[in-house]
């Protein structure tokens, strides 16, 4: 079964495309329309559960959840639940690679073969002609090992323990992709091996030491080969066909080593928002290096949408109210799907659902919910009307403490993504 990708943007951007609207007063009510958008996801589109955290540099944080975290017990969905964040992991990995480049430990323009001699030399692929920068930007010309697993038996896939080199080998057996940009988790598996080569530690250890621990992301961790999620978490669900019958399957217990440092992290909406705020505010990288990260190229319209662009682990996509969001999407075969995005004025949203969408309508509704969160109560760019009018705060929103970390950065999204 073809599982629709999560949303219409991932991210990357070189600057705010809409003029700053600092003169306009910020309406600090909960983003109007967003509660209804989440209720639609779990009602009209029949997804199990949806949760969101919105963080605003002037107004603080809000959380809202709809539907169920556990269909068996009926436990409500919560924005505090842990979940698998899929390809949002790639932004963490890219940040660690760029930090090492900042410190002179590696060069983005050095070849992959320089760090991993002979590993990428098969079936016409040659690591001597691929740079580390191209890995992070998905312009390496390498296929995605995930494609070799698309038809795999689900029960085998969810329990199999993959190694990074096994995943690279799988990718090199595939035919080359078409076009100059091709989204490939294999690129990030190789980036992780480069981190290991230059530091002497596993990529997971380095990313934890450089990113998650300094930022005190206490709900973010690597599961390794464990199939379980520690602590309070939402279950996850996906739809499949067995014996000609379509059924909803619980995919919570899953070995995500097939994603590795390109898709295996477990986190929460709060931690993801804190990470993007720190990253885009320059707390993790130097100014020039962050600018490199945000320098984008056109992506595949089928995956990122017609105006989606990709940087070094970042996606950008236009907003209805002007400018673009910067962030990333993430999904896993077991059912968890996420989108993290930052608007030009620093407002952030991380939206999570615990069931893979199976229709274009539900995917479109996810994208629209993110746009609503980022555009509500915002002054629009000249000539562009904001789609969401100002209205009083909605009941059901939980407002939390002020949000000093929120990042003043642009944002963007992709249409179709994989783990």
Active site residue 234: no
CB 373 within 8 A of CB 273: no
Q: What is the dihedral angle through the alpha carbons of 96, 297, 338, 169, rounded to the nearest 10 degrees?
A: -60
**Comparing C-alpha atoms, which of 93, 84, 51, 80 is closest to residue 265?**
84
Active-site annotation holder among 78, 87, 111, 184: 87
**Comparing C-alpha atoms, which of 256, 418, 268, 233 is closest to residue 352?**
268
Tokens of 184: 């490939």
Q: Return the DSSP state at 210.
A: I
Q: At a CB cut-off of 8 Å and minimum separation 6, what does 153 contact?
A: none
CB 82 within 8 A of CB 267: yes
Quickly count: other Cβ atoms within 10 Å of residue 32's Cβ: 18
**Comparing C-alpha atoms, which of 412, 273, 239 is closest to residue 352?**
273
Q: How many residues does the chain have?
A: 419
**Alpha-carbon distance 289 to 295, whole Å?**
10
**Alpha-carbon distance 272 to 268, whole Å?**
6
**Alpha-carbon distance 48 to 234, whole Å?**
10
Quick one: 174 exposed, middle or buried, by C-beta within 10 A (0-12, 13-18, 19+)? middle
Q: At a CB cut-off of 8 Å and minimum separation 6, what does 391 contact?
A: 29, 32, 33
**Comparing C-alpha atoms, which of 52, 67, 88, 84 is closest to residue 374?**
52
Angle between helices 34-42 and 360-375 (to 10 degrees): 160
**Alpha-carbon distance 22 to 17, whole Å?**
15
**Alpha-carbon distance 152 to 305, whole Å?**
28
Strand partners, 241: 246
Phi and psi at residue 364, to the nearest 5°: -60, -40
**Alpha-carbon distance 159 to 221, whole Å?**
19
Tokens of 412: 């963007």
Tokens of 108: 């983005």
Active site residues: 87
């Amino acid at each position: 079964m073809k599982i629709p990708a999560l949303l219409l943007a991932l991210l990357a951007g070189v600057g705010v495309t809409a003029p700053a609207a600092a003169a306009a007063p910020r309406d600090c009510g909960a983003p109007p329309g967003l509660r209804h958008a989440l209720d639609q996801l779990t009602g009209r589109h029949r997804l199990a559960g949806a949760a969101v955290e919105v963080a605003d540099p002037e107004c603080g944080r809000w959380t809202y959840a709809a539907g169920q975290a556990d269909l068996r017990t009926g436990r409500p969905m919560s924005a505090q639940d842990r979940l698998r964040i899929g390809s949002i992991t790639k932004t963490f990995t890219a940040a660690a690679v760029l930090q090492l480049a900042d410190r002179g430990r590696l060069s983005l323009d050095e070849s992959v073969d320089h760090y991993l001699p002979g590993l990428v030399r098969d079936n016409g692929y040659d690591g001597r002609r691929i740079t580390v920068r191209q890995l992070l930007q998905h312009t390496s010309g390498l296929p995605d090992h995930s494609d070799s697993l698309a038809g795999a038996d689900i029960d085998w896939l969810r329990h199999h323990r993959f190694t990074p080199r096994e995943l690279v080998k799988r990718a090199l057996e595939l035919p080359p992709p078409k076009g100059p940009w091709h989204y490939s988790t294999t690129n990030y598996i190789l980036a992780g091996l480069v981190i290991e080569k230059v530091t002497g530690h596993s990529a997971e250890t380095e990313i934890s030491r450089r990113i998650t621990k300094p930022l005190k992301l206490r709900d973010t961790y690597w599961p390794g080969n464990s199939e379980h999620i520690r602590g309070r978490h939402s279950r996850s669900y996906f739809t499949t066909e067995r014996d000609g019958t379509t059924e909803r399957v619980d995919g919570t217990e899953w070995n995500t080593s097939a994603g590795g440092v390109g898709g295996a992290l477990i986190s929460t909406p709060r931690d993801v928002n804190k990470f993007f705020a720190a990253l885009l505010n320059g707390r993790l990288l130097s100014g020039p290096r962050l600018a490199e990260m945000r320098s984008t190229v056109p992506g595949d319209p089928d995956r990122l949408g017609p105006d989606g662009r990709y940087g070094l682990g970042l996606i950008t996509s236009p907003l209805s109210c002007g400018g673009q969001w910067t962030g990333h999407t993430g999904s896993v075969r077991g059912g968890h799907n996420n989108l993290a995005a930052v608007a030009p004025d620093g407002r952030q949203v991380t939206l999570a659902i615990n069931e893979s969408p199976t229709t274009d309508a539900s995917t479109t509704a996810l994208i629209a919910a993110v746009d609503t969160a980022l555009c509500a109560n915002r002054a629009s760019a000249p000539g562009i009307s904001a789609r969401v009018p100002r209205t009083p705060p909605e009941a059901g929103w939980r407002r939390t403490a002020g949000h000093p970390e929120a990042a003043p950065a642009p944002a963007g999204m992709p249409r179709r993504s994989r783990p």
